[in-house]
């Protein structure tokens, strides 16, 4: 009789490598590893050999970079989704597509369970599991770090020792390093000196995608982008797909010290955490998109979209991608993007994105209206009546307050 199968979300790191023999030993599962390639780069090198060496029967490496960019990143860009004014959701928006792929592999393999290596203190356990529950409510979820009665390892040293006990000699050492998560959109850093908010980040050791503004070139660099219906189409005159544009923007942004943030954020589980995020290309793309939007959207739509963008960010951060509310807000956003078409130009200089002009065939900007000269559509005398009506509640309240004081 064949063993039941479990699909493991496998990164190739020490935690998920140690989980492979642990699953076999404690549950007698056949372990199928699944690594979802969201643009981690060289982190995927040597994964198959490592997974098989650790006891996995199979490894899937699923390249979903374009799906990630088109179906998850771009809805967030269009919505202007930023969590707590700073975080551009790099980890958050990757988790639902990873969960989706894990479910697809589990269905293909006939697996009864999906296992992930997220800790019991973080947001990722929520994001993975809400995605799995929404797409496959019948599949069991195994989270080793919450199973403290069975998962007894509490340090890298203990995990390395456990692997060696099971005949797995891996190229990991016990030296502690930053906890990182990387994909095409960003890389996050936690741990070491960052655990104390009083400490300045050690950027010389920390940064991976770029340099600090102090180390950026002394000369700025101009960039031109075009958009169609809110989606970037060209970069410096060259037509590219979204993933290629983000890749190029990452190189440009990293070079000029763009997109480095240091934030103490509120996790879903109730605690505050401190991290440094590098999002060079994403920061540029979001700024360029907003630069064009302010030319095209009317005031009322822009105001509501800002509010819903914040809500969208919260939904994504909390792992609620596969919900009717996310779909509804995204539908609203898509309507607002119909005319977000045009060209933007800006200069990158020492951590700054400096606007250098924008045009759109759907621009609502009227030079004759905005200038100090009197245009045909605007009569200065009309402003007096407007102000009288607009300020009427204020005037009435002031009059009533004055009457009340006089009667005392």
Mean pLDDT of 285-299: 98
Q: Using CA atoms, how far apart are residues 295 and 358, in angstroms rounded to an integer?
A: 8
Asked if residue 227 lies in contact with residue 233, where contact means CB atoms within 8 angstroms, the answer is: yes
* Active-site residue identified among 37, 50, 124, 181: 124
Confidence grade of residue 129 (pLDDT, cut at 50, 70, 90): very high
Q: Is 87 annotated as a binding residue?
A: yes
Q: Is 9 annotated as a binding residue?
A: yes
Average pLDDT, the chain: 94
At residue 113, the pLDDT reads 98
Q: Is the confidence at residue 331, as pLDDT, over 90? A: yes
Q: Using CA atoms, how far apart are residues 390 and 275, in angstroms rounded to an integer?
A: 45
Q: Is the confidence at residue 43, as pLDDT, over 80? A: no
| Two structure tokens written together for 266 | 């509120």
At residue 177, the pLDDT reads 81
The gap between the terminal CA atoms of the chain, to the nearest Å, is 93
Mean pLDDT of 353-357: 98
* Active-site residue identified among 15, 37, 50, 326: 15
Q: Is the confidence at residue 175, as pLDDT, over 70? A: no
Q: Is the confidence at residue 173, as pLDDT, over 80? A: no
Mean pLDDT check: name the lowest of 43-52, 82-91, 110-119: 43-52
Is 334 among the catalytic positions? no
At residue 44, the pLDDT reads 81
HSE-up (13 A, CA, CB side) for residue 268: 18
| Two structure tokens written together for 316 | 């994504």
Mean pLDDT of 250-260: 98
* Active-site residue identified among 179, 243, 273, 363: 179
At residue 98, the pLDDT reads 98
Q: Is 179 annotated as a binding residue?
A: yes
At residue 374, the pLDDT reads 58
Residue with more model confidence, 260 or 53: 260
Q: Is 124 annotated as a binding residue?
A: yes
Mean pLDDT check: name the lowest of 149-153, 202-206, 310-314, 365-369: 365-369
At residue 360, the pLDDT reads 98
| Two structure tokens written together for 276 | 């440094």
Confidence grade of residue 88 (pLDDT, cut at 50, 70, 90): very high
Q: Is 92 annotated as a binding residue?
A: yes
Label residue 277 left, alpha or beta by phi (over 0 means left) and psi (-120 to 50 means alpha). Answer: beta
Q: Is 11 annotated as a binding residue?
A: yes
Asked if residue 332 lies in contact with residue 297, where contact means CB atoms within 8 angstroms, the answer is: no
At residue 393, the pLDDT reads 96
For residue 231, count other CB atoms closer than 10 A to its CB: 18
At residue 274, the pLDDT reads 97
pLDDT digits (tens, 9 = 90+) for 199-234: 999 999 999 999 999 999 999 999 999 999 999 999
Q: Is the confidence at residue 196, as pLDDT, over 90? A: yes
At residue 174, the pLDDT reads 60
pLDDT digits (tens, 9 = 90+) for 361-378: 999 998 767 666 656 778
Q: Is the confidence at residue 257, as pLDDT, over 90? A: yes
Confidence grade of residue 278 (pLDDT, cut at 50, 70, 90): very high
Q: Is 2 annotated as a binding residue?
A: no
Mean pLDDT of 146-173: 88
Confidence grade of residue 155 (pLDDT, cut at 50, 70, 90): confident
At residue 375, the pLDDT reads 63
Q: Is 366 annotated as a binding residue?
A: no
Contacts of 58 (CB under 8 A, 6+ apart): 32, 33, 109
pLDDT digits (tens, 9 = 90+) for 11-24: 988 899 999 999 99
Is 15 among the catalytic positions? yes
Q: Is 127 annotated as a binding residue?
A: yes
At residue 38, the pLDDT reads 97
Is 379 among the catalytic positions? no
Q: Is 17 annotated as a binding residue?
A: yes
Is 366 among the catalytic positions? no
Confidence grade of residue 169 (pLDDT, cut at 50, 70, 90): confident
* Active-site residue identified among 95, 182, 274, 326: 95
Q: Is 184 annotated as a binding residue?
A: no
């Amino acid at each position: 009789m064949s063993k039941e199968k479990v699909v493991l979300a496998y990164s190739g790191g020490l935690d998920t490598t140690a989980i492979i023999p642990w699953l076999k030993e404690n549950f007698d599962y056949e372990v199928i590893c699944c690594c979802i390639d969201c643009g981690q780069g060289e982190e995927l090198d040597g994964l198959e050999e490592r997974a098989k060496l650790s006891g996995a029967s199979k490894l899937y490496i699923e390249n979903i970079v374009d799906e990630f960019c088109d179906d998850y990143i771009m809805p967030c860009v269009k919505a202007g989704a930023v969590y707590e004014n700073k975080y551009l959701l790099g980890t958050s928006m990757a988790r639902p597509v990873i969960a989706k792929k894990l479910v697809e592999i589990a269905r293909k393999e006939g697996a009864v369970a999906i296992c992930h290596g997220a800790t019991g203190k973080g947001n990722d356990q929520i994001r993975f599991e809400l995605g799995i529950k929404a797409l496959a409510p019948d599949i069991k979820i195994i989270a080793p770090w919450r199973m403290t009665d069975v998962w007894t390892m509490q340090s890298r040293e203990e995990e390395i020792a456990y692997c060696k006990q099971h005949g797995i000699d891996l190229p990991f050492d016990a030296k502690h390093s930053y906890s990182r998560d990387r994909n095409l959109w960003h890389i996050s850093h936690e741990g070491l000196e960052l655990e104390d908010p009083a400490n300045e980040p050690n950027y010389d050791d920390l940064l991976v995608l770029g340099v600090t503004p102090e180390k950026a070139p002394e000369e700025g660099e101009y960039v031109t982008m075009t958009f169609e219906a809110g989606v970037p189409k060209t970069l410096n005159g060259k037509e590219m797909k979204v993933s290629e544009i983000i890749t190029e923007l990452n190189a440009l942004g990293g070079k000029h010290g763009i997109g480095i943030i240091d934030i103490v954020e509120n996790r879903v589980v109730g605690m505050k955490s401190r991290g440094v995020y590098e999002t060079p290309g994403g920061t540029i793309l979001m700024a360029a998109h907003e630069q064009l939007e302010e030319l095209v959207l009317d005031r009322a739509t822009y105001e509501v979209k800002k509010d819903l963008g914040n809500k969208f960010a919260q939904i994504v951060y909390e792992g609620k991608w596969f919900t009717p509310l996310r779909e509804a807000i995204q539908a609203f956003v898509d309507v607002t993007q119909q005319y977000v078409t045009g060209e933007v130009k800006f200069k990158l200089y020492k951590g700054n994105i400096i606007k250098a002009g924008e045009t759109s065939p759907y621009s609502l900007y009227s030079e004759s209206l905005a200038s100090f000269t009197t245009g045909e559509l605007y009569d200065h005398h009309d402003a007096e009546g407007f102000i009288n009506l607009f300020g009427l509640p204020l005037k009435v309240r002031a009059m009533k307050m004055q009457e009340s004081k006089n009667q005392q």
